[in-house]
């Protein structure tokens, strides 16, 4: 039965990653539309006939859903050592929230850092690679996206620590089974 909880949590983590990506990219598009129109739409082969915001959401979904697997497999795998299914489910949902919250905070930090550091001189490299009219805005979004993925990695570590502590506590309270 815990394997069903594992699969349910994994599906939930992938859906959470997809929703996070869709919302994240709505903000990103507002900051720097060319990041999508010049790079991401081609990279993900988004139909140019789609409404722009729907295309942006689709990019976010395709670029982020798999983080649910990357984070979920090790975290929920560790959670299989929790004897009680209800405790396992709650810990898994909390781990998803930890990972998403960490990624969101990292994205906000990355965007703030981008506004403070991405100057026309620093963004000139982007304009050499891509045909951009607003390389600073493009660079800000690129930094925000990189920070989000880094935040996902940090979220994975924090979620693993949380799950490990939950396993220890649950096994101690359940007689070490």
The rounded average pLDDT for each run of 10 residues, N- to C-terminus, in the chain (177 residues) is 92 98 98 97 95 98 97 97 95 98 98 96 91 96 96 97 96 71
Query: What pLDDT was estimated at residue 8?
Result: 97
Residue 84 phi/psi, 5-degree rounding, is: -100, 125
Q: How many helices (H) and strands (E) does the chain have?
A: 8, 0
**All residues at 6 or more sequence positions from 143 whose CB lies less than 8 Å from its CB, including other chains:** 110, 111, 113, 114, 117, 118
Query: What pLDDT was estimated at residue 171?
Result: 87
Query: What pLDDT was estimated at residue 31?
Result: 98
Name the token pair of 89. Answer: 């489910």
Query: Where does the chain show beta strands of DSSP type E?
Result: none
**All residues at 6 or more sequence positions from 81 whose CB lies less than 8 Å from its CB, including other chains:** 167, 171
Residue 33 phi/psi, 5-degree rounding, is: -60, -35
Residue in this structure with the two tokens 């690129």, named with its chain if needed: 142
Query: What pLDDT was estimated at residue 58?
Result: 98
């Amino acid at each position: 039965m815990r394997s069903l909880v594992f699969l349910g949590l994994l599906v939930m983590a992938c859906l959470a990653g997809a929703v996070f990506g869709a919302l994240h990219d709505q903000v990103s598009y507002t900051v720097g539309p060319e990041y999508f129109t010049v790079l991401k739409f081609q990279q993900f082969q988004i139909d140019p006939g789609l409404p722009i915001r729907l295309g942006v959401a689709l990019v976010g979904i395709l670029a982020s859903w798999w983080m649910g697997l990357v984070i979920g497999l090790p975290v929920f795998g560790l959670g299989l050592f929790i004897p009680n299914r209800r405790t396992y489910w709650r810990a898994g949902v909390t781990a998803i929230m930890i990972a998403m919250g960490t990624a969101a905070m990292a994205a906000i930090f990355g965007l703030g850092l981008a506004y403070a550091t991405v100057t026309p001189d620093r963004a000139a490299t982007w304009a050499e690679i891509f045909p951009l009219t607003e390389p600073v805005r493009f660079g800000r979004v690129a930094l925000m996206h990189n920070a989000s993925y880094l935040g996902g990695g940090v979220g994975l570590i924090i979620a693993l620590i949380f799950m490990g502590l939950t396993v220890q506590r649950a096994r101690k309270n359940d007689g070490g089974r």
